[in-house]
Structure 1
Amino acid sequence: MERAWVLGMDEVEGTAGEGSVRARPHEMEEVRERLFKLGASALTDLELLSVLLEVGPRTQGLAESLLPYGGGLKALLLKDPLELCSQPRLGPARAAQLVAALELGRRAQRTTERRPRLRTPKEIHAYLAPWLSALRREVFHVLCFNPRNVLLADVRVAEGTMNTCPVDPREVYAAALTTRATAIVLAHNHPSGDPEPSVQDVGLTVQLVEAGRLLGIKVLDHLVLGDGAYVSLMERGLLEAEGHNG
């Protein structure tokens, strides 16, 4: 059973026939027709890339060459924009189109609620995934809550490299104190895709839990997000997440 945080009074990767159709320029009209009739989900990764890049006679085969180069669609979108610019027949304009398409996709997944109510690690992951997926470096977020599990603020307090992200405890609790939060959830991503916490992740969590006790602010959980998955240190039993009574 999924564990929830009690603070107070209340308690598709795949695509259709992926890689099966080669969307040549003379077929683009048919591809667009299927898109409008059946929806974008009916198109393969290759077809979607072809539509996005507006493949024409001078760029024939561009989409086909990009997918193997990137190691698949998601891996392609993790490439540095400057690296994409250097690819033959792509250039700055089309590289910008790819990067912009990824960001639009992220934003479309974000919750429209300004102050959502989040009570479980699963709900936190669903909220954070659109923000933290497909990032090339580690970032560290502090989610600040009131006694009714309402999110008061989501603050990015640190940015690092591909495999490390130094975190200053003062920045973590500055965010909580500013919003007068009674509890916080820590979260960061692993660009490698593996959400398994490191020894350093666990040690930082212990340090921040102790600091929170001195300030009267409860650390409910620390989520590590990977590729479509997450690990909750609370669910692992690596910290106590008993609720506050409001």
Structure 2
Amino acid sequence: MAPVAPPPPAASPRQPSYIRGHRQRLRRRFTEGGAEAIPDYEMLELVLFRALPRQDVKPLASRLMEAFGSFNAVLSAPPARLLALPEVGPAVVCELKIVEAAAHRLARSRVMNRQVLSSWDALLAYCHATMSHRETEQFRIFYLDRKNVLIADEEQARGTVDHVPVYPREVAKRALEINASAVILVHNHPSGDPTPSDSDIDMTGRILQALTALGIVLHDHLVIGKSREISFRAEGLIL
């Protein structure tokens, strides 16, 4: 008896024409006008197209913007908070986190192995891209060589919404290990207000003391808020 041929695979459902038309128009506007021609909620739609290829993503983009407040905040949101929205699944979270990681990597490439004091704006942009929308405190350290070239960017610690543990001896020890001549401290305030707290000032003083004893310069301590930063050196908190 001749074998029975398997049935042909079912055809993939096509996008409704109104979805195809909207996506084509939006992609064309982005291609022709660049990012400046696209508001944040439509930029978010462009990201969601890949995660939800046959679905109208405009309602979801609006829901995400409403829930988190901005394009950057959506990308930076913790996966658990994203998944708490009923319309969001693992594919959406993965796509958002890919874009976030790409943005961080691009910003980092503009400061690594470069003379920091001559690319200060790029350094601040990198700090804001990676830290300003975090919901918990993060403490990073930039290590510089004798020419003030950034040779290492390392996360020292993560903490809670208003505290991150930092150990001056560990900062100094790491600087010696990689032969750094100077250090820049950076941490974020999830509240959005970058005003240094008393504990920030005390901790900076202890790190300064540990570094000075080893002949290592503390260039600055930056506190990153939602839309601005505060420099300890500019505020006279590091002399």
TM-score range, shorter chain: 0.7 to 0.9
Q: Which amino acid aligns with 1:181?
A: A
Partner residue of 1:98? 96
For residues 178-206 of structure 1, the C-alpha deviation after alignment (integer angstroms, 9 at most, x for no partner) is 12223222221222222111111001111
Query: Structure 2 vs 1, CA of residues 61 and 126 (structure 1 numbering), >3 Å: closer, same or farther?
Result: closer
**Do 2:157 and 2:166's aligned partners in 1 also have CA atoms closer than 8 Å?**
yes
Return the structure number with greater relative CO, CA threshold 8 A, min gap 6. Answer: 1
1:1-246 matched pairs, under 5 angstroms: 25=19, 26-54=21-49, 56-57=54-55, 61-112=59-110, 114-119=112-117, 122-123=120-121, 124-240=123-239
- Aligned pair count reads 217
Q: CA deviation at 1:59?
A: 5.3
Partner residue of 1:16? none
Q: CA deviation at 1:165?
A: 0.4
Higher helix share: 2
**TM-score (norm: length of structure 1):** 0.78
Query: Structure 2 vs 1, CA of residues 239 and 60 (structure 1 numbering), >3 Å: closer, same or farther?
Result: closer
**Do 1:223 and 1:231's aligned partners in 2 also have CA atoms closer than 8 Å?**
yes
RMSD of aligned C-alpha atoms?
2.4
Unaligned runs of 5+ in 2: 1-17
> Which structure has the larger Rg?
2
**Do 1:107 and 1:130's aligned partners in 2 also have CA atoms closer than 8 Å?**
no
**TM-score (norm: length of structure 2):** 0.80
SS in 2 for 1:215: coil
**Do 1:111 and 1:127's aligned partners in 2 also have CA atoms closer than 8 Å?**
no
Unaligned runs of 5+ in 1: 1-23, 241-246
**Do 1:77 and 1:134's aligned partners in 2 also have CA atoms closer than 8 Å?**
no
Q: CA deviation at 1:127?
A: 4.7
Query: Structure 2 vs 1, CA of residues 33 and 71 (structure 1 numbering), >3 Å: closer, same or farther?
Result: same
**Do 1:144 and 1:176's aligned partners in 2 also have CA atoms closer than 8 Å?**
yes
For residues 14-58 of structure 1, the C-alpha deviation after alignment (integer angstroms, 9 at most, x for no partner) is xxxxxxxxxx73422211111222223311222222222126456
Query: Structure 2 vs 1, CA of residues 58 and 226 (structure 1 numbering), >3 Å: closer, same or farther?
Result: closer
Moved >6 Å (runs of 4+) = none
**Do 2:79 and 2:93's aligned partners in 1 also have CA atoms closer than 8 Å?**
yes
